[in-house]
Amino acid sequence: MCVLCFRRPGEPPVVAGSLLWGSTVDFNRHAVNFLHKCRSVYGDVFTLRLVNQYITIVMDPHSSEALSKERNFDFDPIQKQVNWNVFNFSLVEPKKMIKDTGRTVRGASMQRGMHRFVTHLNLACDEVLPANNNNVDAWMSVGLRDFAANTIFDALFNSIFGRQSEDKDFSAHKVYENFKVFHEYFNYLWLGVPKRFFPAVVKALGGLLAQPSADQLLAADETSDYIKNAISYMRLHGQSDSDIKGHNLVYLHVNHNTFRIAFWIINHVLEDPKAHEALLAELKEAVNQRLDKNNTATFTQRSLEELKVLDSVVQETCRMASGVFMIRYVTKDTHFRTSDGKVHLMRKDDRVAIYPPAIHKDPEIFENPSVFKYDRFIDAKFYKAGRQLKNPLLPFGTLCPGKRYAMLQLRWYILVVFTRFEMRLQAGAERAQYDYRYHGHEILPPVLDVTLNYRSIPGHPLLDFGVA
Ligand code: HEM
C-alpha cells in the first residue's frame, strides 16, 4: 500500500502522520478538531491513513449528494466488512435484500410496527413506576441511561422480537447489558481484530446469540415484519440459522442508536430550562387540542412531524450526538468533482468518506456548534460558502432506510415521557459528556450516566397513535 507515498497528479494530498499508525492517534484523540485542522492545511479534500486503510475525506458538505450518487463509490464492501468482522455473517445479494426489507419500515408495515412500539412503551412506562399502587406518584431516582433502557430500548426490543421473558438470556434487559460490553470493543472488531482477544466480547456475544430460532420467530405473531421478511429472504437465498442470528443482531444494533439519541434528547432538554419550558408548552397545547372525553389524545405521524420545538430538539440532538462516517469503497479509479468545480482523482481500493460530525460542528454552518440550542432548527436554513445547504444534517448518512421510522419513534417517545412523567436531573451532580472514543458509532454514548429524578404526573393524558 506504500504506493500511496507516490501521489499521481490529481490525487488528494496525504496528511502527514506517524510512520506506523498514520493519522490514527490524532483522529482518535478528537476526530472533529483534527479534521478541521487538516482542512485548514490541505483544503476540502485530503487522504488519511488509519493504520493500513487509506480514507479520502471530503469536507465539502455541498458534495455529499454527489458522493452518495457516484456509482464507483460502493457501500456494500463496507457493510460486508462490518457484518463479517463484527457479526460473523455475510448477506447474499445485500442490495436486493435491503430494498426488500426496507419496505417493512414504511407504509402499512410501519403503522403495524408503531402500534406494537406504542403498546410496549406503555407497558414499559408502567413498569418504571413504584410497584405499590398507593405510592404511584412518589419521586424515583435512577440513572438516565437505565431509564431510557428500561423504557425505549425495552419497547424497541419487544416490538422487534415479541416480549421475551426476563429470565432468558435474550431479553431486553440482558441484551442491553451485553450490548454495553460489545459496543465497547466495536471499533476494534470492525477493523478486523479477532474477538478471541477480548474474552468479555466472546461472553457477551454468547448471550446475544441465545435467540429464539428462526422457526420460532417466524411462527410468533409478535415478531416484527422486518425480522420475518429478512428471515424469509435469507432462507430463500440458502443462508444458515447462524447467519440469520447475526443479521438479527445487526437490526438490534441499528435500533440501539434510537435509544442513544433518546438518552441525549432527555438530557439536553432537562439541562436547559428554556428548552424544557418550550417543549412542555408545545406538547401540552398539542395534547389539549386533541383530548377527547376519555382523556385520550390521538397523534398521527404528520401531526407529530408538525410540532416544531419537538422537531428542533430531536434534530439538534442528532447534530450533537452523531459520530458516524459516511463511507464508501472506491471500486475504480474515479475523477470526482466537488461542488467548487475541482476534480479529484480517487484511487481504486481506497475508501472515500464524508464525516458528518465535522459538518455538524462547523461554526460557519452552525453558530456556536458545541452549544445545544433547542430552537436552532425552527424554520431555519443553513449555509456554507454563501450557498444554502440541501442536507445540513447527515446522522443517517444518505442510505439509511430506517431514518423516518426511527425519527417517528423518537418523536413519539419524547411526547410520551414528557407528558407522562415529571422529570429533572439530579441537582449539583456531574453533567453528561459525549464519549468521543466511540467515534465511528452512529450515535455517541455518554462517558458516564447521570441521575434522573422522575415521578408520574397524576391524571396524565392517554396517548394514541392513529393512521395518518
Ligand atoms: C437512530 C437510529 C439510526 C441511525 C442513527 C442510523 C444511521 C445509519 C447510517 C449512518 C447508515 C449509513 C448510511 C450511509 O453511509 O449513507 C445507516 C445504514 C443503514 N441503516 Fe440505519 N440508522 C438508524 C436506524 C435504522 C433503522 C431503524 C433501520 C431499520 C430498517 C436501519 C437500517 C439501516 C440499513 C439496512 C442500512 C444499510 C443501508 C445500505 O446498505 O444501503 N437503520 N444507518
410 C-beta closer than 6 A to ligand 1: no
Q: Whose CA is nearest to atom 19 of ligand 1?
A: 400
Q: Measured between alpha carbons, how far apart are the two ends of the chain, in Å?
A: 54
Is the pLDDT at 100 greater than 60? The verdict is: yes
Test site for ligand 1: of 70, 87, 254, most ligand atoms within 8 A of the Cβ: 254
pLDDT for res 20: 84
Closest among 256, 183, 266, 259 to 450, alpha carbons compared: 266
| Integer CA distances (angstroms), 112 to 74, 107, 456, in order | 33, 9, 28
In the chain, % of residues over pLDDT 90: 84
Find the 230 Cα to ligand 1 centroid distance in Å: 15
- pLDDT higher for 131 or 181? 181
CA of 340 to the centre of ligand 1 (A): 29
In tens, the pLDDT along 407-443 reads 999 999 999 999 999 999 999 888 999 998 888 889 9
Helix (H, G, I), strand (E, B) or coil at 456: strand
Distance 255 CA to ligand 1 centre (A): 9
φ and ψ at residue 346, rounded to 5 degrees? -95, 130
Nearest CA to ligand 1 atom 35: 98
Question: How far is the C-alpha of 381 from the C-alpha of 390, rounded, in Å?
Answer: 9
Q: What is the pLDDT of residue 270?
A: 98
Cα 454 to middle of ligand 1, angstroms: 32
**Mean pLDDT score, 258-266:** 98
Q: How far is the CA of 293 from the centre of ligand 1 (A)?
A: 40
**How many angstroms does the Cα of residue 257 sit away from the middle of ligand 1?**
9
pLDDT above 60 for 5: no
* pTM exceeding the 0.85 threshold for the entire prediction: yes
Q: 321 near 261, Cβ under 8 Å?
A: yes
Residue 21, pLDDT score: 86
Could you tell me if the CB of 105 is within 6 A of ligand 1?
yes
E strand spans, 256-400:
296-299, 326-330, 334-337, 343-346, 351-354, 383-384, 387-388
Q: What is the pLDDT of residue 135?
A: 80
> Would you say the CB of residue 65 lies under 6 angstroms from ligand 1?
no
Please state the separation of Cα 195 from the chain's center in Å. Answer: 24
**What is the C-alpha to C-alpha distance for residues 443 and 320, in angstroms, rounded to an integer?**
9
Q: From residue 333, give the alpha-carbon distance in Å to each of 60, 80, 170.
A: 20, 21, 45
391: Cβ below 6 Å to ligand 1?
A: no
The lowest-confidence range among 3-7, 23-27, 289-293, 429-433 is: 3-7
273 CA distance to ligand 1 centroid (A)? 32
Question: How many angstroms is it from 208 CA to the middle of ligand 1?
Answer: 20
CA distance 54 to 71: 19
Residue with the smallest CA separation from ligand 1 atom 26 is: 402
Specify the pLDDT at position 164: 84
Q: How many helices (H) and strands (E) does the chain have?
A: 19, 14
Mean pLDDT over each residue of the chain, to the nearest integer: 94
Please say whether the dihedral angle defined by the alpha carbons of residues 132, 136, 140 and 142, taken in this order, is positive or negative. positive
- Which residue, chain included where needed, has cell 420545538? 309
- Contacts of residue 333, Cβ cutoff 8 Å, sequence gap at least 6: 345, 346, 347, 348
Task: Tell me the binding residues for substrate.
Answer: 91, 257, 351
Please check the confidence at residue 50 and state whether its pLDDT lies above 90. Answer: no
336 CA to middle of ligand 1, Å?
A: 25
- Looking at residue 3, what is its pLDDT? 46
Nearest to 423 by CA among 280, 258, 257: 280
| Segment 334-345 mean pLDDT | 97
Residue 454 parent element (H or E): strand 451-456
List CB contacts of 75: < 8 A, sequence separation 6 or more. Answer: 327, 328, 329, 399
Q: Give 237-251 pLDDT, tens digit per residue.
A: 999 999 999 999 999
What pLDDT, on the 0 to 100 scale, is given for residue 188?
Answer: 85
Q: Which residue has the cell 458528518?
A: 356
For residue 136, what is the DSSP state? T
Ligand 1 atom nearest to CA at 442: 5
Indicate the annotated binding residues: 91, 257, 351, 400
Residue nearest to atom 43 of ligand 1 (CA): 400
Res 226: pLDDT: 95
317 ligand 1 Cβ < 6 A: no
Range 344-367 average pLDDT: 97
Task: For residue 329, list its beta bridge partners.
Answer: 74, 351
Average pLDDT estimate for 19-33:
88
Rounded CA-CA distance 221/155 in Å is 16
For residue 269, give every residue at least 6 positions away whose Cβ sits within 8 Å of its Cβ, in sequence order, or none.
275, 276, 279, 313, 374, 418
pLDDT higher than 80, residue 132:
no
* 439-466 confidence digits (pLDDT tens): 888 999 999 999 999 999 999 999 999 9
- Check pocket membership of 303 for ligand 1, CB cut-off 6 A: no
- Is any ligand 1 atom within 6 A of the Cβ of residue 258? yes
**Residue to mutate (ligand 1; options 80, 116, 396, 410; most atoms within 8 A of CB):** 396
Residues 234, 95: Cα–Cα separation, whole Å: 13
**What is the C-alpha to C-alpha distance for residues 112 and 224, in angstroms, rounded to an integer?**
9
Q: Which amino acid is at 211?
A: Q
The stretch 332-359 carries a mean pLDDT of 97
Q: Which domains does the chain have, with CATH numbers?
A: 1-71+325-371 (3.30.43.20)
342, 59 Cβ separation under 8 angstroms: no
Percentage, residues of the chain above pLDDT 70: 98
Check pLDDT > 60 for residue 343: yes
Burial of 158 (0-12, 13-18, 19+ CB in 10 A): buried
Check residue 2 and give its pLDDT. 47
Q: Which residue has the higher pLDDT, 171 or 134?
A: 171
Q: Are 112 and 421 in contact (CB under 8 A)?
A: no
* The pairing of beta strand 383-384 with beta strand 387-388: antiparallel
